[in-house]
Homo-oligomer: A and B are copies of this chain.
Amino acid sequence: MRQLTKRSENYSKWYNEIIVKSGLAEFSGIRGFMIIKPYGYSLWDRMKTILDQMLKFTGHQNVYFPLLIPKSIFSKEKEHTEIFSEGCAVVTHSRLKKNIGKESLIIDPESELQEELVIRPTSESIIWKTYKRWIQSYRDLPILFNQWGNALRWEMRTRLFLRTTEFLWQEGHTAHSTKQEALEETLKILNIYTDFSEKFMAIPVLQGIKPYMDKFSGSEKTYCIEALMQDGKALQIGTSHFLGQNFSKAFDVKYTNFNGKQEYVWSTSWGVSTRLIGALIMSHSDDKGLVLPPKIAPIQIIIVPIYNNNNKEKCMMINEISKKILNILEQEGIRAKYDNNTTFTPGWKFHEYEMKGVPIRISIGKNEIQNDKVEIFRRDTYEKIYLPWMNLKNSIPELLDEIQKNIHKKALNRTQKLIIELDNYNDFKNKINHSGGFIFAHWDGTKKTSQKIQEETEATIRCIPMYNKKEKGKCIYSGNPSLQRVVFSKSY
């Protein structure tokens, strides 16, 4: 039972199995809530560390706001509230008591709260309530804050990492004195997310703007990055919202400008979540398990000794060389692990670390001692090469770099093959049903049309691409005039 279901047989089953078998996560038994296991959490830790550095480097600071939001604050920004109140966890009491004569506990009715509290689905409301206190003058601006934490949205259909009731994420909340500055911030973050996806996660993304009906509720404009998974469906990886003055108006947050005049503050919010792990899995992995880009991999190199149990002396030599190699690699700052557990066979370990997507495996047996070369196995290409172990200090960093590039290139090639411009609705339907992908097509700009297309094909408008060329055409569905192409795809 150690094999995975093949992607070609049942993609969705493959996805669930790979998560469980590589030890990333599992469902908790509480509807929609996930347990992130050590290997999964170490992936999230790597992502956090890198992204946190990128955000700090661009002047952002971390803060922490309350988990619970009073209903009256939660409900200030109308559009925002309308969506998020639809599925949220509401705290109503502060005590349980014994159910007299029974084993169980019941709510103590006397502990009813004066006002209900909502677990944050996102923190705009509680943060803008606070910014009201912190912002008086242009000297208090900009505020560039970010929060790492958990959030909760009651979801009907959940999938590990992609959509869970509780999720871990970062949410940025910034305040600015001008519209221009807030817009620049929104795009700066979109570019940070893009760099993070491309350069670290090795996931090629498309930058765009959500059509008006799909923008974040409470925002003026939602920018996003979208990536194509191996099954041709799109996954939204991150979003950056230009909030305009919606929240500053809802919470009456004004500042005194240079000229002593009062103005409403401009703002942005943006976030990426544990969903990124889903994107990583579905972008690169194969039928043997995870494939992790070296920059994200918690373990970059696994060293497996191939003992010959009949020869104790050789075993000791193998052990000694393995430790030396581990030491050399660690000194280069490489995340290496030496697995000298003797209860498992080398074959078992090979399988295990392939499943876990460790980029490079070094195996060391008696041949390796004799000719001073070690066997190097690349997880991304299944190639075996032989390198002198004395020189690993130089060759391994180069190889990790090459693997990182190769994984990105593979994903890019795959994505590019699935990008197409179409002008005929039958072709569109065919394409969506067979290979999926990003379809650039004309749209008349109405919600009605996009709904019809969704009903008939399951495809939705993922975004209006950034830097889109203006091109007059006819809507692929209605035939009505259109000024540019938008991107359709099925999605997660």
Contact = CB atoms under 8 A, between A and B. Distances in A.
Nearest to A90: B93
Nearest to A71: B105
Indicate the size class of the contact surface on chain A.
Answer: 35 or more
Interface stretch (A36-44, A401-409, A449-457): A36-44
* Residue of A105, A107, A116, A149 most packed against chain B (CB within 10 A): A105
A150 B149 contact: yes
Given A87-B94, A94-B90, A166 B33 contact: no
A11 interface: no
A59 to B, nearest CB: 11
Contacts of A145: 38
Interface string A186-230: 000000000000000000000000000000000000000000000
Interface stretch (A61-69, A301-309, A432-440): A61-69
Contacts of A33: 66-68
Contacts of A256: none
Interface in A87-102: 87-97
A92 B94 contact: no
Given A64-B36, A150-B150, A168-B64, A119 B91 contact: yes
A30 interface: yes
Given A90-B107, A105-B75, A166 B30 contact: no
B95 A65 contact: no
Contacts of A41: 61-64
Contact of A90 (B36, B71, B74, B96): B96
Given A29-B129, A91-B90, A92-B107, A97 B75 contact: no
A476 interface: no
A62 B90 contact: no
Given A68-B33, A130-B35, A62 B45 contact: yes
Number of copies: 2
B28 A65 contact: yes
Give the interface SS of chain A, mostly helix, strand, loop or mixed: mixed
A257 interface: no
Contacts of A427: none
Interface in A75-122: 75, 81, 85-97, 103-105, 107, 111, 116-119
A473 interface: no
Nearest to A343: B139
A111 B117 CA distance: 15
Contact of A63 (B37, B66, B96, B150): B37
Interface of A: 28-30, 33-38, 41-42, 44-45, 61-72, 74-75, 81, 85-97, 103-105, 107, 111, 116-119, 126, 129-130, 139, 145, 149-150, 152, 154, 166, 168, 343
21 contacts: A30-B70, A33-B66, A33-B67, A35-B63, A35-B66, A36-B63, A38-B62, A68-B152, A71-B96, A71-B104, A71-B105, A85-B105, A87-B95, A88-B94, A88-B96, A89-B117, A90-B95, A92-B93, A95-B154, A107-B116, A139-B343
